[in-house]
Amino acid sequence: MLVMTRREGEEVVIGDPAAPLGIVRIATIKGDRVRIAFEFPREVPVNRREVADKKLKDDEGPADIAGQIGDVG
């Protein structure tokens, strides 16, 4: 894990500096709150950890249960 110190308004470039994949900017700092701005192409998903974890859990689908009744259809 890489840990950096940045001040308000400073940026971190992700990927090749000539053609970056994205940019992370420290937008504002107020007390213990930090607002972060992400500049990435729309096709690159950017999620908070709790949202990413929920998506992973939802993608797993329901657990297989012996004797589970499904559509006979």
User: Max Cα separation, the chain?
Assistant: 60
Q: For residue 68, what pLDDT is reported?
A: 58
Answer yes or no: are the C-beta atoms of 26 and 6 closer than 8 Å. yes
Which regions of the chain are under pLDDT 70?
61-73
With a pLDDT cut of 90, the percent of the chain lying above it is 77
Residue boundaries of the structural domains of the chain: 11-60
Partnered with residue 73 across adjacent β-strands are none
Q: Which two tokens stand for residue 23?
A: 């940019």
Q: For residue 31, what pLDDT is reported?
A: 95
